[in-house]
A and B are shown apart, each in its own frame.
Chain A
């Protein structure tokens, strides 16, 4: 097997759309579900367990003709904070973005307090991100704080 062959793209190139790279393999399908990829009607390539020099194994998502809004994409920052976004137009990367944690998370995280109103009423949860560095959240309703390792997604 030649060296050239090794360098071949692991996933087909995208003409127009968004390529999300460096997704930790174990988080890939969570990212897929958070971005509601199943509702997208344009072609989507999902790469799983691809070789990565930096990460060992990684996941990639390439979504044709889709350009995410900031708050849409920031949802994934909770589980995959180092993800890189490439905006592609005519096979060229025209913009690179890093995801960042928003100030508030709506309907995304479960409150771990069983006596919280959000676990007892048909309603959306709401969290304030009170520390972006350590990823500490506070429930807007019961005011209980949740540390990164205790975060449970809905």
Chain B
């Protein structure tokens, strides 16, 4: 069996992204498959994340695999000072694949270097959350029936929002045009702009969340300004309500426009948008289970 960890979207080739999307589509149509029968999946959540954990564990269950693990490091030996290395080595003796969430950045990469079983990164601090990116990309594919040549607007926190950074990276294979809407304090960091420049990808920065930008877009990716990413709460109070999308703003938007949001939302999308057929964020979350089924099969080399 081929061993292939899933740590960062930047490691994924265009081919593997397309393959995972095709698998995701298959699982959406046929969610219950006995592909993991007899297998044990470790679900190690060193930091609580109910949404991600339930989504992964549902994916394993739909594939008839068994789950072991923990949902909070407080109940494990890492609270006694055990190193990540020792925990991973120990669990590797029991499981066929490890799904892990950790509060430290780079934890999943390190884990993938100390074990022979595949590691799936379910989020490492503020660094990567590649399964979110796959479900975002599947949602884009499903609503647009293609990934190539789309105009994607990202609004909100482009500085700390790791889903934004990963989506930029993942979509970079498919000739996108990006509109980046953010306040000065939360603009996309230079290193990502340099990345876009290097890939010769068109992008436009705006501080104004204008109808012109929305009306050009195929995808509108809204993000939450996350309180926990701020050290200065005054700064947070200043920017938290800057970009709020309401139904009126969508009046002249394209028919194929779909609004995505990684959830949870706070108030960046007004509730009157929820009933608009262009709102896609709840279905987007549902795609998470199918995308995670596809990722688990991909790392285990199951076709």
Contact = CB atoms under 8 A, between A and B. Distances in A.
Interface of A: 113, 115-118, 120-123, 139-145
Given A113-B105, A141-B106, A145-B191, A121 B8 contact: no
A122 B83 contact: yes
A115 B109 contact: no
Interface stretch (B31-39, B120-128, B206-214): B120-128
Given A142-B125, A142-B127, A115 B105 contact: yes
A130 to B, nearest CB: 9
B90 interface: no
Contacts of A143: 8, 105-106, 127-128
Nearest to A138: B191
A21 B188 CA distance: 44
B126 A115 contact: yes
A117 B110 contact: yes
A121 B126 CA distance: 18
Nearest to B191: A145
B86 to A, nearest CB: 10
Contacts of A120: 104
B243 to A, nearest CB: 26
Given A123-B110, A143-B127, A117 B8 contact: no
A115 B84 contact: no
Nearest to B85: A121
A115 B110 contact: no
B191 A117 contact: no
Most chain B CB atoms below 10 A, which of A122, A139, A142, A145: A142
A129 B164 CA distance: 25
Contact of A117 (B106, B126, B128): B106
A145 B191 CA distance: 8
Contacts, number: 50
Contacts of B174: none
A70 B135 CA distance: 46
Contact of B103 (A113, A115, A122, A141): A115
Closest 8 pairs (CB-CB, A-B): A141-B106, A142-B105, A117-B106, A142-B106, A117-B104, A117-B107, A117-B110, A141-B109
A116 B125 CA distance: 9
B109 A116 contact: no
A141 B110 contact: yes
Given A140-B109, A141-B109, A142-B125, A116 B85 contact: no
B232 to A, nearest CB: 17
Contacts of A142: 104-106, 124-125, 127
Contacts of B104: 115-117, 120, 142
A117 B127 CA distance: 11
A37 B102 CA distance: 40
21 contacts: A113-B105, A115-B105, A116-B104, A116-B105, A116-B106, A117-B102, A117-B105, A117-B109, A117-B110, A120-B104, A121-B84, A121-B85, A121-B110, A141-B106, A142-B105, A142-B125, A142-B127, A143-B106, A143-B127, A144-B105, A145-B191
A122 B125 CA distance: 19
B174 to A, nearest CB: 22
Interface in B121-140: 124-128
B105 A121 contact: no
Contacts of B84: 117, 121
A116 B104 CA distance: 6
Contacts of A141: 105-107, 109-110
B57 to A, nearest CB: 24
Interface in B172-197: 191
Contacts of A139: 106
